[in-house]
Structure 1
Amino acid sequence: MTTLMPIGDVERHTGIPQATLRMWERRYGFPRPLRDEFGHRVYPPHQVERLLNIRRLMAQGHRAGKLLSGGGADLAALTDQQGAQERPRHVAIQLLRQYRFDEFRNLLQLRLMSLGLRRFVIDILAPLNVEVGEAWQHGWLPVRCEHAYSVQVAMLIQNALATLRTASGRPLVMLATPHGEHHALGNLMVQAILASMAAPCIQLGTELPMHEIEEGARECGADIVALSFSSFSARKHVAHTLGSLRAALPPSVEVWAGGSGVPADLPAPAGVRVFNALEPVEQAVADWRRRHGAEAPPLRQSAERSG
């Protein structure tokens, strides 16, 4: 069954404003949305993919009118030409593009084994995320391979987490993404760092309404609520979400925010800590423990994996 995407989700996914999508529809006849049962615009995947290609080429200096008035074959040729010129050199991305997922996973597994989970996430995955994003943005890595990257990396992290005993110390960190945020990899990487420091985590997943996050924090007794925002998040949305959550939670519960969607110059509300990289998470946990007189419990491998 084909999944149709509402116009608001298309805006977040492609970075193209809704008003622009409607103007292109009127002026150029593309995109050509369908209508749902309420008469609202919805877009099939192949149109969203074409919009992504158009946005990438516009970022390289091509005019929207020429891209939209030309045929699909012309657009594909431009995309292939641009991608060939900007082919990434990282072997991991080459393996992704060639669908050699077992080799890709084995390559990263070796680095994980040599570095340990925490350093692997910070030193290997964090910069690789940036490279994958750039390869996608420039059109060399299609969305399907970018999604496959997330799947493969999630498998690696989850397998590594399964070798650790569940921590019982503090702080207890609840991780989630707010409504409209589909990307879970950022929070999973944060969980890996926290777990390697014996900080227990509750992972609630993606696209949670604000009241669910608030109630979950109260019910589980979270010390920290950490939210992740992708690059598709609008600045106003991020600021409003963090302000609303901070106001709704008790002052004793800290709010952390990170991800590529959190601008470095975002004026965070009092009681909200913004992370523009993963490495400061280590110091933030140590700071929390010092302020609250909490010691880190010893970290051990699980009996199932270590015995």
Structure 2
Amino acid sequence: MTLRIRTIARLTGIREATLRAWERRYGFPRPNRTESNYRVYSREEVENIHRVAKLISEGLSVSEAIAQVRSAPVAELPVRERLEERFWSAVMVLDGEAADRVLGEAQAVMAVEPYVDTVLLPLLREMGHRLDIAREHLASALIRQRLGALLLAEGARPGGPRVLLACPERDMHEGGLLALGLHLKRRGWQVTFLGADTPAEALRGACVQLNPDVVALSCVRRREADELRQVLQSAVEACAPAMVVVGGQGAREHLKVIFGTGAQYAESTEELVALWQQARGASNRT
């Protein structure tokens, strides 16, 4: 499958005139031509354009970026990088089966946690500024499916602390939350995953039934401070007396708001576990 120059410009953020200028001056990219003399680009050319754009954003000149991509074609990249480039190339042409095969190949040669932390989560973080909406939905769905299957396949270990995982109302990005659940489950925690767009009343009902030690909320969607304060106040009240720990890029810029509602903030699995251990220690001393 090939793509026309207008589509490439929309996906990469590089204007059609710029792509034509690069082609004239540097011989890059090298599209094929249709019978009507329209430029069409292969998967590999599309990915090479993305790689050039990324290098330019990191400070290289156009000529340096093109030279670097030419000197290290996709086939010669390290295994993990090569798999990532193949994944992006398949997503670019909306080939979900090919993209999923790439994820499967990576999973087959890696341990679970490195696979999640060095392949799946970086892909999730990068797609927001790399893909248009349709391609982002395709790619994120594939990765969520992989994370969900890993979480379900991980055997439960009774007796550990219990955590309830959810995204608050109107927050639909649950990939990072799935990864957190997997990491906690592998550390012996009992995990209940509620997922995206969970209102406070649903949290209340789950807490009444499960009595969790921790409720972890993933806030990826950006909100104004007042909106986040309202959302978290409702969640903290609904989940009491369980500790509420908030994470995600939508929360990072509002730490004062988070602490003001009585919630805690964690950047990683390790930080969440440390917060719970501190709270448990304080409770025991009391």
Cross-structure match for 1:263: 252
The CA deviation at 1:96 is 0.9
Match 1:94 to one of 86, 89, 98: 89
Partner Cα distance (1:149, 1:260) in 2:
19
The CA deviation at 1:173 is 0.9
TM-score (structure 2 length as normaliser): 0.63
The CA deviation at 1:190 is 1.6
8 Å contact kept, 1:229–1:258: yes
Cross-structure match for 1:171: 161
- C-alpha spacing 1:186/1:269, structure 2 compared with 1 (3 Å): same
- C-alpha spacing 1:116/1:78, structure 2 compared with 1 (3 Å): closer
The CA deviation at 1:81 is 7.3
Match 1:245 to one of 227, 232, 235: 235
Partner Cα distance (2:180, 2:259) in 1:
22
TM-score (structure 1 length as normaliser): 0.59
The CA deviation at 1:97 is 1.0
Q: Give the percent of matched residue pairs that are identical in Structure 1 and Structure 2.
A: 22
SS at match of 1:269: helix
8 Å contact kept, 1:231–1:261: yes
Partner Cα distance (2:254, 2:167) in 1:
21
The structure where helix makes up a greater share of residues is 2
Cross-structure match for 2:212: 222
- C-alpha spacing 1:208/1:163, structure 2 compared with 1 (3 Å): closer
Cross-structure match for 1:112: 107
One-letter amino acid of the counterpart of residue 157, structure 2:
A
Partner Cα distance (1:220, 1:195) in 2:
16
Partner Cα distance (2:254, 2:275) in 1:
23
One-letter amino acid of the counterpart of residue 107, structure 1:
V
Cross-structure match for 2:226: 236
Segments of structure 2 that go 5 or more residues without pairing to the other structure are 1-5, 20-46, 52-83, 282-286
Alignment of 1:1-307 (within 5 A): 79=10, 82-83=13-14, 87-89=49-51, 90-91=84-85, 92-135=87-130, 141-251=131-241, 253-267=242-256, 268-269=258-259, 271-276=262-267, 280-285=268-273, 288-289=276-277, 292=280
Cross-structure match for 1:60: none
Segments of structure 1 that go 5 or more residues without pairing to the other structure are 1-74, 136-140, 294-307
- C-alpha spacing 1:198/1:110, structure 2 compared with 1 (3 Å): farther
8 Å contact kept, 2:168–2:200: yes
Q: Deviations over 1:270-300 (max 9, x none)?
A: 6422234xxx21343255357648xxxxxxx
The CA deviation at 1:192 is 1.7
8 Å contact kept, 1:242–1:269: no
One-letter amino acid of the counterpart of residue 165, structure 1:
G
Q: Deviations over 1:32-78 (max 9, x none)?
A: xxxxxxxxxxxxxxxxxxxxxxxxxxxxxxxxxxxxxxxxxxx9897
Partner Cα distance (1:176, 1:115) in 2:
28
Partner Cα distance (2:124, 2:225) in 1:
21
SS at match of 1:207: strand
The CA deviation at 1:160 is 2.1
* Deviates further, 77-86 or 239-248: 77-86
One-letter amino acid of the counterpart of residue 288, structure 1:
W
The CA deviation at 1:244 is 3.0
Partner Cα distance (2:263, 2:115) in 1:
27
One-letter amino acid of the counterpart of residue 110, structure 1:
E
- C-alpha spacing 1:287/1:269, structure 2 compared with 1 (3 Å): closer
- C-alpha spacing 1:145/1:282, structure 2 compared with 1 (3 Å): same
SS at match of 1:205: strand
The CA deviation at 1:162 is 3.4
- C-alpha spacing 1:78/1:161, structure 2 compared with 1 (3 Å): closer
Structure 1 vs Structure 2 CA RMSD: 2.9
Partner Cα distance (1:105, 1:78) in 2:
25
